[in-house]
Amino acid sequence: FWAWKAINILFPFAVVLGRLFNIPRDRIEQSFIEVSNNLVLQHKVKVPANRIMILTPHCIQLDTCVHKITRNVENCRQCGRCSVGAMLGLAHKYGCHFAVATGGTLARQMVKQARPKAIVAVACERDLTSGIQDVFPLPVLGVLNERPFGPCFNTRVDIDKLEAAILAFMEDDEEETKHAEGTKSKLS
């Protein structure tokens, strides 16, 4: 708690120092996210899968998709053209909440409504940094999105990193059960 409080308090100073030494803000934010993730992982927070929330911005959806998912992620047809289908698949596989927000205010409302005990957030450096600070003391593992077309447009996520973050929060007996079921189905 105190270590996290300290990095939270020191973050604005790091941004100012970064400006003085020409260190890009996104690099400082990446460091903040990495330190925050390490602190969360050190605490070995374990919660039931149904108390984990996967939260992502709407830019993860393909901009030309006609199936809007911001109100209901189940509208996704899992066509594979963007990361949403794979993320929805992970949410179904593990029984996690999955929400897509159009902005910070809506994201905070979704967190308040779902009342998770842990969050796996996918976003850019700026959104992850502010989101992690907004929901403290809730434990958050941040996964940076990939931006092959620039910021806030048709972004992607590394599904393996996302799954690893989910598994880091899951209670061991659920993780072992899911793994055993997956192994059993692969063998069949």
- Which residues, 6+ apart, have CB-to-CB distance to 70 below 8 Å? 58, 100, 101, 102
pLDDT of residue 184: 38
Model confidence band, residue 159 (pLDDT cutoffs 50, 70, 90)? very high
**What structural domains does the chain harbor?**
46-187 (3.40.50)
User: How open is the CA angle 39-44-50, to the nearest 5 degrees?
Assistant: 115
The predicted pLDDT at position 170 comes to 93
Helix, strand, coil percent content, the chain, rounded in steps of 5:
55, 15, 30
Whether the predicted pLDDT of 79 surpasses 50:
yes
Over residues 2-58, the pLDDT tens digits come to 676 777 777 777 777 878 888 888 888 888 889 889 989 988 999 999 999 999 999
pLDDT (tens digit, 9 = 90+) per residue, 134-152? Answer: 888 899 999 999 998 988 8
Provide the pLDDT for residue 140: 93
Give the predicted TM-score (pTM) of the model.
0.82
Q: How far apart are CA 88 and CA 127, in angstroms?
A: 21
Instruction: Write the pLDDT tens digit of every residue in 96-134.
Output: 999 998 888 888 888 999 899 999 999 999 999 889 888
Q: In which residue are the tokens 């911005």 written?
A: 57
Residue 72: band (very low, low, confident or very high) from pLDDT cuts 50, 70, 90? confident
> In the prediction, which pLDDT does 1 show?
61
- β-strand 118-123 against 97-101: which pairing, if any? unpaired
Is 138:41 a contact under the CB 8 Å cutoff?
no
Q: What is the pLDDT of residue 139?
A: 92
At residue 151, the pLDDT reads: 86
In sign, the C-alpha dihedral spanning 16, 23, 165, 36 is negative
What is residue 183's predicted lDDT score, i.e. its pLDDT?
Answer: 35
What confidence tier does 90 reach under pLDDT thresholds 50, 70, 90?
very high
Q: Residue 48: what pLDDT? A: 95
